[in-house]
């Protein structure tokens, strides 16, 4: 910490010259701070021709969107770099490449993804990437299987659980997912017209019980090395390509949390589309989004089972039929965490452009109503939604 200093744009350029791994580093001359997230500084580094070449990311010692009144560990930069390095080992084609990491400065240098676009922004505009969902499912299968007990040696797994213990960032998740949306809290934000609906979340005993179960599993089930914040704003896409970034919330937790977060963000966009596009465009985009939900789950499930059949190292877990039984439990978890993602992104602090971009107040209220109602349904009915077809049917029933 004694060497830590907050980077300026000039600092970022100089650092990229030293550690960016580019030919002719003196050709790197300018930077642009592009961080629009809640926590970090992010600089794109440009050469003399105006091309972005690498990205420099630095963790701040506090929550950026709040300020110094909310201090936050710099160790999250180590967590992020090392999670991405582990995930790159098993799925390099869909994980951003880390070129350099400095623990003293909490800085990493990453490959530039200027040839890609942020998936959330593309979904908001109605731009389709037909291969992205299957690629996301493949990334989920590869990263989660290879860091689970099916594949990892038990000694390595236990050591890695310690290595990736991430209490401060997990505490944020625990509050924003499982506590604050179901309480009257100053960080919550939603249309006042929906107060009766939101208030009912606080008094629904069955819902609160189900959320408690989901939180307890999040706290106690170290099943695999999670990304911890899989949403469409942390995924870059191009035609035929997908890259996942921003793993600072990584830790060992239940597989269904990552999968559910991914599906939840696809369904938030589904709920928001009538407020973002014309009626005909929205109807078409909604069908594509449901296809994305289906493709993500199927790619994950099929990929996980194929890996389990080929590469499971634990003799007991390799017993025929066990991997499929385990995946059934992951499915139930996925539905529950998908529901909590829908609710926390529309009621809680970390709201998203899919909803915030809707200009018409009445339409925005209706889209939020649909997302909250769907989230509640998935949490309550997770044990009774048998498969992906049943999930799609429930979504259609929701409106």
Q: Is the pLDDT of residue 46 over 80?
A: yes
Q: Is the pLDDT of residue 68 over 80?
A: no
Q: What is the pLDDT of residues 245-281, one digit of tens each?
A: 999 999 999 999 999 999 999 999 999 999 999 999 9
Across the chain, where does the E strand assignment appear?
28-33, 40-47, 52-59, 62-63, 67-71, 98-102, 107-111, 117-118, 224-226, 235-238, 241-244, 251-253
pLDDT band at residue 70 using 50, 70 and 90 as cut-offs: confident
Domains within the chain, CATH numbers bracketed: 9-111 (3.30.200.20), 117-398 (3.90.1200.10)
Q: What is the pLDDT of residues 154-192, one digit of tens each?
A: 999 999 999 999 999 999 999 999 999 999 999 999 999
| Whole-number Å distance between alpha carbons of 46 and 54 | 8
Q: Is the pLDDT of residue 38 over 70?
A: no
HSE at residue 29, side-chain half, CA atoms within 13 A, is: 6
Q: Is the pLDDT of residue 132 over 80?
A: yes
State the pTM of this model: 0.96
pLDDT band at residue 62 using 50, 70 and 90 as cut-offs: confident
Q: What is the pLDDT of residues 340-371, one digit of tens each?
A: 999 999 999 999 999 999 999 999 999 999 99
pLDDT band at residue 14 using 50, 70 and 90 as cut-offs: very high
What does the pLDDT average to over 300-313? Answer: 98
Q: Is the pLDDT of residue 1 over 60?
A: no
Write out the two tokens for 344.
């926390």
Q: In Å, how far are 81, 140, 307, 386 from 90, measured between CA atoms? A: 15, 10, 12, 30
Q: Which long-range contacts (CB under 8 A, 24 or more apart) does 188-193 make?
A: 188/347, 188/348, 188/349, 189/347, 189/348, 189/349, 189/351, 190/346, 190/347, 190/368, 191/361, 191/364, 191/365, 191/368, 193/365
Q: Is the pLDDT of residue 118 over 90?
A: yes
The reported pLDDT for the residue numbered 270 is 98
| Whole-number Å distance between alpha carbons of 86 and 314 | 20
């Amino acid at each position: 910490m004694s060497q830590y200093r907050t980077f300026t744009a000039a600092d970022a350029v100089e650092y990229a010259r030293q550690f960016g791994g580019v030919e002719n580093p003196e050709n790197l001359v300018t930077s642009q701070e592009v961080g629009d997230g809640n926590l970090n500084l992010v600089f794109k580094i440009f050469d003399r021709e105006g091309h972005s070449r690498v990205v420099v990311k630095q963790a701040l010692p506090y929550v950026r969107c709040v300020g110094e009144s909310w201090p936050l560990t710099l160790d999250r930069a180590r967590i992020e770099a090392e999670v991405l390095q582990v995930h790159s080992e098993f799925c390099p084609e869909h994980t951003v490449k880390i070129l350099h990491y400095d623990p003293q400065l909490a800085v990493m240098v990453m490959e530039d993804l200027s040839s890609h676009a942020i998936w959330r922004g593309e979904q908001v505009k109605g731009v389709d990437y037909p291969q992205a969902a299957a690629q996301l499912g493949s990334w989920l299968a590869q990263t989660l299987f290879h860091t689970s007990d099916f594949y990892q040696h038990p000694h390595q797994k236990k050591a890695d659980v310690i290595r990736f213990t991430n209490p401060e960032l997990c505490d944020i998740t625990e509050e924003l997912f499982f506590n604050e949306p179901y309480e009257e809290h100053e960080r919550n934000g939603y249309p006042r017209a929906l107060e009766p609906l939101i208030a009912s979340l606080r008094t629904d005993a069955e819902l609160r019980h189900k959320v408690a179960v989901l939180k307890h599993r999040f706290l106690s089930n170290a099943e695999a090395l999670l990304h911890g914040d899989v949403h469409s704003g942390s995924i870059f896409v191009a035609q035929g390509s997908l890259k996942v970034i921003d793993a600072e919330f990584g830790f060992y937790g239940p597989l269904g949390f990552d999968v559910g977060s991914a599906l939840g963000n696809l369904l938030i966009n589904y709920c928001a589309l009538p407020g973002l596009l014309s009626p005909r465009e929205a109807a078409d985009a909604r069908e594509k989004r449901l296809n994305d939900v289906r493709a993500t789950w199927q790619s994950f499930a099929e990929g996980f089972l194929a890996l389990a059949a080929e590469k499971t190292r634990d003799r007991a877990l390799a017993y025929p039929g066990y991997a499929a039984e385990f995946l059934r439990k992951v499915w139930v978890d996925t539905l529950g965490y998908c529901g909590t993602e829908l609710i926390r992104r529309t009621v809680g602090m970390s709201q998203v452009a899919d909803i915030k971009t809707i200009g018409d107040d009445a339409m925005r209220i209706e889209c939020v109503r649909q997302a909250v109602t769907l989230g509640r349904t998935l949490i309550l009915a997770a044990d009774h939604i048998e498969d992906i077809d049943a999930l799609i049917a429930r979504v259609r029933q929701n409106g």
